[in-house]
A = this chain, B = another copy of it.
Amino acid sequence: MEENKRIMNFRPEIKILDATLRDGGLVNNFYFTDEFVRDLYKANVKAGVDYMEFGYKASKEIFDVDKFGKWKFCNEDDIRDIVGDNVSDLKISIMADVGRCDYKNDIVNRSDSAVDMVRVATYINTMPAAIEMIEDANRKGYETTCNIMAISNANETDIDIALEMLGKSCVDGIYIVDSYGSIYPEQMRVIADKYVEVGEKYGKEIGIHAHNNQQLAFANTIESVSRGVNFLDATMSSMGRGAGNCAMELLLGFLKNPKYNLFPVLQFIEKHIVKLQQEGVVWGYDIPYLLTGRLNQHPSAAIDFTKEKRKDYSEFYQWLLERE
């Protein structure tokens, strides 16, 4: 009864972040048409989505601007071109990777920017650099989150230390990131409890960014919700690296918050996502991703296997096992 009662209810604190351009951009090197981005923005506004991530703020010293679409760099003008003065309740975020972002120069003051939130992505061993970036963004007036990647490969003591560092920092939110899609719901609940405990102690929001290697991105996301995680990443039809992410359409179907509306998302998918898929852009659950996820490995080998249209799963599995 308790559980049934909960499922009939909703938490107004819940926020959905659409990461289609950012994680989906990893699939097509950020080459989205302007029409795609404009319609995505409109769909998110209509659907009641809380944040839309436009992409990365990547260093133009490190990455060649001619080899990627513009959403790897998220120039102010390009965002403005889509959102104008962003007269809506939808906030705008960008992601900044530790070591791959000239944040001091490239991230301007919030008062001069269309962006509301800067999400800093880091591995556990670069926490001090991440915190410097967070402090910089915070000083410039942005909401900030820290997304600690690949925690399934980090040791627990290190995670505890990182969470304490973040707790004491000026960051607004801390994200659980299941980069390899290797975490099962019963493990996710333990992780969520740990993060939420720190969040409650220091007044930080906790978020989740899941991958679908074992068809658990949606399940892990809604399990986290039941443990107090409020910031939920999703992408249209799961579009994201490898097996993709938690599907926006599944998440909106689940959440009972009356402000959310599935309909514009379905319209966006039938207009744009179906087309991408027909053009041969590939992502989503498949056996190679299950295998890397199950072995808690980076999906890169599975991405290559899929690109080559190989189907010799048993050979691939043996190869993965041997290199462990």
Interface residues of A (CB under 8 A from B): 1, 3-4, 6-7, 184-187, 189-190, 212, 214-219, 222-223, 226, 237, 247, 249-250, 253-254, 262-263, 266-267, 269-270, 274, 285, 287, 290-291, 294, 311-314, 317-318
- Interface pair B184/A247, CB less than 8 Å apart: no
Write the chain B residue with the least CB distance to A237.
Answer: B287
Report which of B4, B215, B262 forms a contact with A215, defined as CB distance below 8 A: B215
Contact A7 B186, CB 8 Å, known A250-B214, A274-B311, A290-B253: yes
Write the chain B residue with the least CB distance to A254.
Answer: B184
Interface of chain A: mostly helix, strand, loop or mixed: helix
Complex: A311 Cα to B311 Cα, angstroms: 27
Complex: A270 Cα to B318 Cα, angstroms: 14
Count of this chain's copies in the oligomeric assembly:
2
- Interface pair B294/A185, CB less than 8 Å apart: no
Contact A184 B222, CB 8 Å, known A314-B266, A317-B266: yes
Write the chain B residue with the least CB distance to A275.
Answer: B311
- CB-CB under 8 A from A312, the residues of chain B are 270
- Interface pair B290/A250, CB less than 8 Å apart: yes
Report which of B253, B263, B313 forms a contact with A266, defined as CB distance below 8 A: B313
- Interface pair B187/A270, CB less than 8 Å apart: no
- Interface pair A187/B7, CB less than 8 Å apart: yes
Q: Which 7 pairs show the lowest CB-CB distances between chains A and B?
A: A219-B219, A266-B314, A253-B294, A266-B313, A267-B314, A3-B186, A274-B311
